[in-house]
Structure 1
Amino acid sequence: MKYPKKRTQGHYEDSKSGNRPDRRGGHPAKRASGSKERPRGEKAEAEEIRLNKFIADSGVCSRREADKLIASGVVLVNGKVVTALGTKVSSRDKVTIGTQSLKREKLQYVLLNKPKGYITTMKDPQERKTVSLLIQHACKERIVPVGRLDRNTTGLLLFTNDGQLAKKLTHPKHKIKKIYQVELDKPLTKSDLLAISEGVTLEDGFIAADKVAYLDPERKSVVGIEIHSGKNRIIRRIFAHLGYNVIKLDRTVFAGLTKKDIPRGKYRHLTTMEVNYLRML
């Protein structure tokens, strides 16, 4: 028997089951077995999200890796094995992988103006100063750096527990803009400036800057360089290839974010608008 459909808030709802098809006309998203229905008007914390996102937001792995875990049958929701990739859960559901109980963390985004002398890692077996010391009071969640800066490189370094965004910002295909101010041991010649712009071949392949320019026509040992490559020590290696030593290297822009109002060694949290901007890149 077919049941009539009634209109509710712009969606069609099956009057028998209460399930709503998605806007594209697909089947209703599957609920995890044993999940409780959310009372009308309850806080957004109980809003349903896909299980793979819940797992990723707990800091275990990426969404793609979470899909593999779900399909392999090791993920339990409210004590029952779930293998359907479209399953949705809320913060009130108990999600476990093996003996590990997962909790969706609040996503944090912290922008640090890194000083010289700190290595980009959260722990160091040699007990050197790490960037973790500078952001240890930023939030209770475990956040990690997006990419890295050399020990003697200063400037912008983003930290987050949003694994999906971090992966996006570090993947070469997205060509995330990074701008550095470089101070050299001697003036950069116009021919070498052109060479950097057109590209040079290093031991690990060809690399070209997106933009390079003198910051002060009277002081040609200080230049600005825009580059999207994330290769290790890439800027220092470019200039070393041409016979220059980098005296100071400072990242002034990362993915459109700047150092404005962040003193050296200090940090700030990103605004919602900034986070949304990064997600659209």
Structure 2
Amino acid sequence: MSRPFKRTYTRKGEDAGADKEARPERADRPFEKFDKANIVRRGAASKAAAAEKVNTNDVAAPAQTGKIRLNKFIANSGVCSRREADELITMGLISVNGKTITELGYKVNPTDEVRHESKVLRAEKPVYILMNKPKGFLTTTADPQERNTVMHIIGAKVKERIYPVGRLDRNTTGLLLLTNDGDLADKLMHPSYNVKKIYKVELDKPLTKNDAQAILDGVKLEEGRAMVDDLAIVSEDRKTIGLEIHIGWNRVVRRIFESLEYQVVKLDRSVYAGLNKKDLSRGDWRFLTKEELILLKHFK
């Protein structure tokens, strides 16, 4: 994996014979190079570079050849989530080929007739959307207080039941993936896949060399030691930081800096799982390209 920026500091003992003093920051390095970083697997970058943008909503779903769990079939139809599907099953509201099913874990063939009460359910086409989330929007499908969510940005332009993959807090901006592909969403959110994220962080005061090294060494939070993958000072006043991280703890980037008595003034995610937002204005969204989808499908 090519590195999106050169590390400003090194972990202790990383380079044999290295000076113990922290390396001087690269204040002359423009941040937009970092912001346009695209973390991809070897060989994928050249393919993605020539990608022609297409609406992947028009790409047919792969043929299903084996049985799948009933709750997955229901979720794929756009009725509800898998957890909610389990509730419908236990309530006796789902039938398969005319027979009411209440067994969790029941599997169906793609050709079976599945009904929710009297409505026949059919699997939706898979949809994959990339959004440059603006500030002030919740990363959820609905809000009891009727505040703006990212679904208000999509509006009625997508008929399928999509939802955000992971979360960005209300005041965080940047790259967000939305889909109705539950398997892909589960994989990207699972800690074992170590999905890389890159953030641009603007602080209320300059980051000291000691604190920068402390972050690289891993600051201790409630869940344990928060390890980051890379850090770079990207402004002359040392208030703008580039941070590469893979852990997905709640508000982890803000909490890392808050633990060292810094306030995060602005937080923007520029890279997620090899995808970037270089062609997306704030508040805009688009469907993934075929090449981007292949990259995600083969993500390991």
TM bracket (short chain): 0.7 to 0.9
TM-score, normalisation: structure 2 = 0.68
Matched, 1:147 2:166: yes
In 1, the alpha carbon distance for the partners of 2:140 and 2:108 equals: 35
Distance 1:137 1:97, change over 3 A: closer
The 8 Å contact of residues 188 and 220 in structure 1, kept in 2 or not, is answered as yes
Distance 1:46 1:242, change over 3 A: closer
Given candidates 106, 110, 114, the residue that maps to 1:89 is: 110
Matched, 1:51 2:37: no
Q: 97-106 vs 171-180, which deviates more?
A: 97-106
Q: CA-to-partner distance for each residue in 1:138-158, whole Å, 9 max, x for gaps?
A: 411111111111111100111
In 2, the alpha carbon distance for the partners of 1:99 and 1:204 equals: 46
Pairwise CA RMSD: 2.9
Given candidates 96, 108, 124, the residue that maps to 1:77 is: 96
Q: Which has the higher strand share?
A: 1
Tell me, which stretches of 5 or more residues in structure 1 are unaligned?
A: 1-42
In 1, the alpha carbon distance for the partners of 2:255 and 2:297 equals: 31
Q: Which residue of 1 aligns with 2:46?
A: none
Tell me, which stretches of 5 or more residues in structure 2 are unaligned?
A: 1-59
Q: CA-to-partner distance for each residue in 1:160-196, whole Å, 9 max, x for gaps?
A: 1111111111111111111100011111111111111
Matched, 1:115 2:128: no
The 8 Å contact of residues 61 and 125 in structure 2, kept in 1 or not, is answered as no
Read off the aligned partner of 1:120 and give its amino acid letter: T
Larger radius of gyration: 1
Distance 1:86 1:114, change over 3 A: closer
Q: Which residue of 2 aligns with 1:240?
A: 258
Matched, 1:224 2:242: yes
Q: 47-56 vs 229-238, which deviates more?
A: 47-56
The 8 Å contact of residues 62 and 164 in structure 1, kept in 2 or not, is answered as no
Instruction: Describe how 1:1-281 pairs up with structure 2 within 5 A.
Output: 48-52=65-69, 54-59=73-78, 60-62=80-82, 76-80=95-99, 87-90=108-111, 93-96=112-115, 101-216=120-235, 218-281=236-299
Give 1:86 shift: 6.7
Poorly superposed stretches of 4+, deviation over 6 Å: 43-47, 81-86
SS at match of 1:136: helix
Give 1:278 shift: 0.9
The 8 Å contact of residues 95 and 114 in structure 2, kept in 1 or not, is answered as yes
Distance 1:122 1:189, change over 3 A: same
In 1, the alpha carbon distance for the partners of 2:273 and 2:156 equals: 24
